[in-house]
Structure 1
């Protein structure tokens, strides 16, 4: 029987350490503590999980004094025990050891970040989802490790294999030679091996949506935009069509080339849903959500049938850029989806499959921890754990199915194979400035932005009578490389006004990349791109490249830069003072400013051209990477490379 050891009354609560002895109250536990502490031991995490009835109501006493531990501390204690056990069973990376040290010596060399108890908040809304609640509590405990700022910055990382690989994305003899030689801040590791993106993906790579922010662009009416590595249509969300002295009276053309079979197939279906005037919510579900409504399934099926009417693109040659054509591999995937709509998986299966591909990263939950409103923390945690957008809590279970595009693919295509989240592509500076935090939840603000933006694109694709703003979209499975001169000529003949390249520059040596861009350029083409990996070839772009004495100063400057960036969130959805994130993310914001011009000089060296701008993308809570460089330029010295930005 579950009776109190002291007074024999029925009890549901037990000692938090050994979890074997029942007490009905803290008073009874105190009476027995002097004897009980002699045999009290912490149980392994698996025994805790097996025996815990209600971890929010566990008593604990730690010494002979009458100090009482409140519920929040007790909940944290259990989470810490679980995390300690998992760390003991894992490889001892430097991050793991630092976190283990923190949990065993909490209170030393710490900065109080006041991390919200988002696990408890989630439990108030979803009290029966025990596994998810425990997961969130573990995530909160992991975030506690970020409080050890001084210990992290004072750490000597020289010669540590895991840090070197993660920092440089390399561990070659050439890198070791580079690091062992005398060097100065801003020196470039020019011998870094670059794996071309067509070799990396082979067409099977499947991002569910873009993972980087895009600029707001003005498209001159009647001009051509060529998007290489487009992933989805996120470039059009904030774009506008304008009339200038360069405009012509005909539709704009958005022509995409992508090395992912999945991205081409899915985005063509979404385009047809837009043309077919499917409900905006259904378009959003297919684009972003792990779970769909039955209504969305019907509109998806109709769009799939439309796409299957496209012509056939060559199997081994460039497609006609301004025709709707399907490569055989793309057609195979869409045909598979057409069959899959007859037997969709359930919402429960969607959650299980989403979880199965989830890589635990405490950086993901820092987005939750930095939100100002408890309401938003619960909703964002729910999205992270389930992949639903919008959240489907208002829908009947029988009305919900698993996303066909995420969970019903063929040819070993696996979308969402890593922890990817739609937040990474969202332009928060635009979204949050148009909403009021106290009235509009964070997820609703994002939904409102998507609804408004997608409605605009739908009107461009099927313009009302008398409207001249229109666009034609053609999306092709094709790698744009230096060994494909026929495709290069095909692009060049389009006279592209703008060419966007995603982060494909990260897969090329600078000289080879410029060779490719010149081969594709029209006489007035402006090129846009983002580099994610430039810090992996620039000494001084990471805070730990500096002497210990300078790191704290660099870190503090990074905090100030982030605080200045608060202007993107005037309504205050997020915290910007004492941001909860890994110290590297804050320090690198400052470190990148010290050397980005060195990388710029390296990237443009030897090019006879009009150099454009290389700017830092402002710190954003929803980005995994906080060191993006936004790049735009033209090879035509007579035009202004800045005129295409809104």
Structure 2
């Protein structure tokens, strides 16, 4: 018979952490805890190493203390994390390593719920330097001074270190954008300048509108990027669109680790076209409306042309893809929150292999590793950190257009891309007798305050709109507005997104609030997700109540609502301009960051700062 470790009475209740030591009551468990905690869990799974938040050294012990202070037999509310490892094993029974990985990942997700217990408890104000650096993006004397000084919610860390947004001489390489874009209206005949474009995702939802400002000529989309890889790859994709390569092949080159042999042929054809572009100047701005490529871009594309002869295998692509992935990656919460087992298996397959669309229906001999992702030169290394296509997909545009019971989740994404790319096809290569609706020119150039000749070149274009991705995160506000003024035409509207604004504001993290109100902030954020989910996902691809996610991701959504206006005032302080809007991007399970701010404004106070964002 099992007996209590303290009073020796019969007991059927084990320690909920180690599952080895018995206690007859909560009182006996508390009496024994000082001794028992030294050995508890030594032979079992430890409290997980939570990946974000300002935890202290020894926080695992604090969390465990809190668990043991709960009533025995009263477990945490069951998140009902789906057994996606078992589901995957039913379709891919021989992939033992992947199945083991998924089972471990599921355990990590279940353990995340423990973090929520700290919301209702005060913890010592001695943050772990590693967690502090993760929260604020740095660990400096200025930050410590800021945190130690008297402060209130909404106070700005004005001395935050700002690093150059392109400090790697162009070798940085995102395979695709890592955040969703809104729906932008391009006035007919006007010029849009895209700074830091990464790819053509801004055009996926764009519309060309006719109004009083319209001109009867093609729109011009002129991109400037500090990444050699982004300029090279996107020029090739653009040419694939112009010659109307199969949409599937374009999607594979844009997003997939694995290509079909047909895609390889269409890619080679587009590469040959781009290599016919003229050379852009090496040390000065290019002609913005001319097909030119910088010598460094030409070098990479020429390397791709040579690599086509001996491509890597599908198996090699899978191995290279997973090297940067780990079980703590937040992308796994996407899987846990999908409703249909069918969708979970497909999404897991994509996450583990990087294939899109999935290649299970293709013959192995006709499949090859992506040339752009795995065959680069001069130190360029795409997918050198975890990146996933889901992060850039605008779910508020995709999910309402599909029915969950009829259309698998990955198919819904494919349908969106197919329709959007078809639209761009028509713009670039209209039917016979129709004029082009848009011209696209993409250049390797760094847009900053030191490149005055380039800034003057952009200003001469008199751009109607300029998009800046999240480049504002790398500048102090005064310097950033100086940059924008130097580029602006008379009526230019600027469009930007901030991902890192939360690292500048005290009160943007739920754990910076008093424990008495954390629970309220958390519940209000959960309610907000539930309400917006009904409109964004009417068919119910995802769960929107009892969301499986790091509790801080949920709590911070509520916290940031309380300090957003303070950051906005700081960002626009001293600027004479017309603010259109500073608004949150609605929560989505697929976002990399859940506190994105979309911002647009103009320096011309006589016009409305309106871009058509929806």
Q: Same fold (TM over 0.5)?
A: yes
The reply on whether 1:244 has 2:211 as its aligned counterpart is yes
CA distance in 2, matches of 1:142, 1:102: 19
CA distance in 2, matches of 1:187, 1:258: 33
CA distance in 2, matches of 1:204, 1:484: 19
SS in 1 for 2:331: helix
Residues 415 and 101 of structure 1, relative CA distance in 2, 3 Å threshold: farther
1:39-118, aligned counterparts within 5 Å?
Answer: 84=46, 97=60, 101=64, 110-118=76-84
Counterpart of 2:114 in structure 1 is: 148
SS in 2 for 1:198: coil
Any conservation in 1 of the 2:184–2:611 contact (CA below 8 Å)? no
Displacement of 1:644: 3.3
Aligned to 1:398, which of 355, 365, 389? 365
RMSD over aligned Cα, in angstroms? 2.4
SS in 1 for 2:202: helix
Query: Structure 2: which 5+ residue stretches go unaligned?
Result: 1-17, 23-41
SS in 2 for 1:433: helix
TM-score by length of 1: 0.84
Displacement of 1:624: 1.8
Residues 170 and 195 of structure 1, relative CA distance in 2, 3 Å threshold: same
SS in 1 for 2:604: coil
Aligned to 1:436, which of 377, 388, 403? 403
Counterpart of 1:9 in structure 2 is: none
Counterpart of 2:95 in structure 1 is: 129
SS in 2 for 1:197: coil
Counterpart of 1:70 in structure 2 is: none
CA distance in 1, matches of 2:100, 2:213: 59
Any conservation in 2 of the 1:496–1:522 contact (CA below 8 Å)? yes
Q: Per-residue CA shift, 1:113-171, capped at 9, x if unaligned?
A: 11000000000010000000000001100001222244232362632212211110111
CA distance in 1, matches of 2:215, 2:105: 54
1:615-630, aligned counterparts within 5 Å?
Answer: 615-630=583-598
CA distance in 2, matches of 1:130, 1:511: 54
Counterpart of 1:476 in structure 2 is: 443
The reply on whether 1:307 has 2:270 as its aligned counterpart is no
CA distance in 2, matches of 1:474, 1:231: 13
Aligned to 1:571, which of 511, 530, 539? 539
Displacement of 1:483: 0.8
Aligned to 1:426, which of 389, 393, 397? 393
**Count of residues in Structure 1 that have an aligned counterpart in Structure 2:** 568
Counterpart of 2:431 in structure 1 is: 464
User: Which structure 1 residue ranges, 4+ long, deviate > 4 Å from structure 2?
Assistant: 60-63, 80-88, 92-96, 98-109
Counterpart of 1:31 in structure 2 is: none
Counterpart of 2:7 in structure 1 is: none
Counterpart of 2:506 in structure 1 is: 539
Any conservation in 2 of the 1:111–1:148 contact (CA below 8 Å)? no
Displacement of 1:466: 4.1
SS in 1 for 2:601: strand
CA distance in 1, matches of 2:325, 2:252: 20
The reply on whether 1:197 has 2:160 as its aligned counterpart is no
The reply on whether 1:175 has 2:157 as its aligned counterpart is no
TM-score by length of 2: 0.89
Q: Per-residue CA shift, 1:362-404, capped at 9, x if unaligned?
A: 4111000000000000000000000000000000100100000
CA distance in 2, matches of 1:149, 1:351: 33
Any conservation in 2 of the 1:212–1:425 contact (CA below 8 Å)? yes
CA distance in 2, matches of 1:95, 1:136: 28
Query: Structure 1: which 5+ residue stretches go unaligned?
Result: 1-41, 43-59, 64-79
Residues 61 and 608 of structure 1, relative CA distance in 2, 3 Å threshold: closer
Counterpart of 1:38 in structure 2 is: none
CA distance in 1, matches of 2:291, 2:56: 50
Aligned to 1:326, which of 293, 297, 302? 293
